[in-house]
Amino acid sequence: MDVIIENAGVFRDAISAISELIDEGKLRFDKEGLKIKETDPTMISMVDFKFSAKNFSKYDIEENQDVAISISQLYQVLRRLNSDNKLQIQYKKEKNVIDFILIGGPNVKKFSIPVLDLEDKKIPDINLDFEISVEMNRKLLSEIILDASVVGETLSFAADKETLNFFSEEDMNRVEMDLDRKNEDIFSFKYTSSVDKLKSKYSLEYLKKMEKSGKISDIVMLEFGNDYPLKMSFTDKEKNIVIAYVLAPRVED
């Protein structure tokens, strides 16, 4: 396998966000491109990353290949990228390392990372029936998460046919924000539930890590239900890059 990523900075930003949740995982190369689909160690969240083959100036793979490595170590390598660097990735099955080569600019740097022998766990396809889906300004979501962090450890998402509501409360402290579906920061709003209002609560610790993928897109898609998992997606349609997360809800006893 021998591939070259043209826009290595975007790839670095994606791996930076993924490494917040996933320490070790498999890089999956197939005809469509590079993919990472893993759960975090607690099984509370899952990441599904797709990096299209269109982002590679060279994409030479003989067959589908899964290469297990330390994602956090990969990010440390990618931090050494300069703005004019491309990223070359080379791997042969008989080797016990995968090479990441920073090319372009005055110098060529080659980093070799050991291939790990990870358990071959099956990550299931999660078919979720969301009752609310909203595309909104990613910067506003960042502000909401930061505001909630002042108050507590969880953030509740609520919605009815006309309004999206966020709130966090702990002891006597509370912060909330209501957004009408016609708000300029709401780009699409689809409510399909037969009930009047939906509400789910999620861990702010995880939301803050997931939101860091916002570097690849100014728009975030939020999908959830009533005491139901959250799907948070960031998509760069021009570069065919998607980072989607699924996060389990905090359910009241």
Contacts of 29 (CB under 8 A, 6+ apart): 1, 3, 35, 61, 64, 65, 66, 67
Q: What domains can you pick out in the chain, each with its CATH number?
A: 2-114 (3.10.150.10), 132-242 (3.70.10.10)
Provide the sign of the torsion angle of the four alpha carbons 240, 137, 202, 71, taken in this order.
positive
CB of 243 closer than 8 Å to CB of 213: yes
Tens place of pLDDT per residue across the chain (253 aa): 999 998 899 999 999 999 999 999 999 999 999 999 999 988 899 999 999 999 999 999 988 999 999 999 999 999 999 888 999 999 988 888 999 999 987 789 999 999 998 777 666 667 899 999 999 999 999 999 999 999 999 999 999 999 999 999 998 899 999 999 999 999 999 999 999 999 999 999 999 999 988 888 999 999 999 999 999 999 998 888 999 999 999 987 5
Taking the model in full, what pTM does it have? Answer: 0.93
Q: Write down the pLDDT at residue 124.
A: 63
Instruction: Enumerate residues 6+ apart whose C-beta is below 8 A from 195.
Output: 226
Pairing of strands 163-170, 56-60: unpaired
Residue 142 carries which side chain, given as an amino acid letter?
S
**pLDDT attached to residue 253:** 54
